[in-house]
Amino acid sequence: MDWKKIGLFAGGILMGSYGVRILTGRDAKKAYTHTTAAVLRMKDAVMKDVTTIRENADDILAAAKDINEEKQREYDAQLVEDAKAVLEQMSDETAEAGA
């Protein structure tokens, strides 16, 4: 028999049993409770930051859409002015040719 392997196996069982007792003890539960409370506080802080970032992103998106709408209105107005100028020029040329 290999006593070394048997000893390691027995030691593993003892350590496992002792570990379970440590993890289920009153002090361990207190530590788990404090850790969980800290995680919940952190979650609340992160969610506040996420909400702020989301609101800022929504504001930025709305402003960008407004800018693009204004640029499109300016472009459309310029097209109308250019079309009027072309029509006036064509009208003048037609009047000169007929005179």
Give the domain extent around 26.
3-98
Average pLDDT per block of 10 residues along the chain, 99 residues long:
78 71 75 91 94 96 97 96 91 76
Q: What is the pLDDT of residue 6?
A: 80
Collect contacts of 44-52 with beta carbons under 8 A, ≥24 apart. Answer: none
Q: 13: which 2 tokens?
A: 């069982």
E strands, the chain, are none
What is the count of structural domains for the chain?
1
The phi and psi torsions of 70 (rounded to 5 degrees) equal -65, -45
Amino acid in position 77: A
Q: What is the DSSP letter of 1?
A: -
Closest CA to 81 of 71, 70, 89: 89
pTM summary value: 0.50
